[in-house]
Amino acid sequence: MSRVGNPYDNAKAESFMKTLKKEEVNGSACQDIADLRQRLCEFFESTSDRARLHSALGYLSPVRFEQNLLT
């Protein structure tokens, strides 16, 4: 999070929160806090970390980038 007077440090955190809210939280009905925790874990493990394309990796997913390194 940002230091006092430096709004640019928040950019990555706020971008992540926007993506999380848009793709997982909004529009999905959770039954209780345990259900929400489960959904968030699944989101982090499958969508956010493994499938999302990253410009720093040549617009490949992290899994595909690692596969290319191994071959």
Mean pLDDT of 1-13: 68
Q: How many residues does the chain have?
A: 71
| pLDDT at res. 44 | 78
Q: How far apart are CA 15 and CA 8, in angstroms?
A: 12
Q: Which of 47, 50, 49 is nearest to 22 (CA)?
A: 47
Average pLDDT, the chain: 78
> What's the pTM value of the predicted model, to 2 decimals?
0.45
Q: Around 38, how many Cα atoms within 13 Å sit in the side-chain half-sphere?
A: 8
Mean pLDDT of 9-21: 77
